[in-house]
Amino acid sequence: METAERLIRSTQELLWERGYVGTSPKAIQRAADAGQGSMYHHFSGKAELAKAAIERSADELRTAAEEQFAGPGPATDRIAAYLRRDRDALKGCRMGRLTADPDVMADPVLRAPVAETFGWLRGRLAEIIAEGKESGEYPDSLDPERTAATIAAVLQGGYVLARADGSTEPFDLAITGLVDLLENVTTDLPLEGVAK
């Protein structure tokens, strides 16, 4: 793996574990097995490297989510597959954790990819819910944007509850409850030809 790639990967992990302030250039260099000269050859400094790492995490989140979103089946199945995919609930969401970092939120350049990622997620969920309405899976009264925001909020809140409890149980309960709600909205309709 090239030095620039190692630096980005190491910064991704350190930001996730320690936050921006806790991610020192020396810690990045140590984790990436790279010298100071190598780091500053590829990046002007910690801020530019952090931006590259946050953008990489954002791209990876979108790619992973799209695997479930673009899959076959009704809207509820695709959303449930996304919610139930393998996650380290106790570590939290790479992007969600950054919202609690005051240094990232205070810097418009670092905050932008975080905000864009959550905007993309809500938008993509809203598209899938709208598809479910068009197919007759969901009732006309279900608002795609509000429902998408609720799904994103429950997912992020599940991470917070799990971390506070030191157990994945609150996360699992939140996700199961959310899927139950989506399935109940679906089952209340007289569906013809829509697989459950």
Residue 173 covered by a domain: yes
Residues 182-186: what's their mean pLDDT?
90
- CATH number of domain containing 94: 1.10.357.10
Range of the domain at 65: 52-187
Is residue 192 a part of any domain in this protein?
no
The average pLDDT across 173-193 equals 80
Q: What percent of the chain has pLDDT over 90?
A: 81
pLDDT, average across residues 42-51: 90
Q: How does pLDDT run across 108-128, given as a tens digit for each residue?
A: 999 999 999 999 999 999 999
Q: Is residue 107 part of a domain?
A: yes
pLDDT surpassing 50 at residue 173? yes
pLDDT in tens, 138-169: 999 999 999 999 999 999 999 999 999 999 99
| Residue 4 placed within a domain | no
Looking at residue 186, its pLDDT comes to 77
Does some domain include residue 82? yes
In a domain, 20, yes or no: no
Say if CB 137 and CB 76 are below 8 A apart.
yes
What is the chain's mean pLDDT, rounded? Answer: 92
Give a yes or no: residue 139 inside a domain: yes
Look up residue 35 and give its DSSP letter.
-
Residue 35 pLDDT > 90:
no
Residues 6+ away with beta carbon under 8 Å from 115: none
pTM of the model: 0.87
Mean pLDDT of 24-41: 88
Burial (CB count <10 Å: 0-12, 13-18, 19+), residue 95: buried
**Count of domains forming the chain:** 1
- For residue 157, CA distances in Å to 19, 141, 193 come to 19, 25, 34
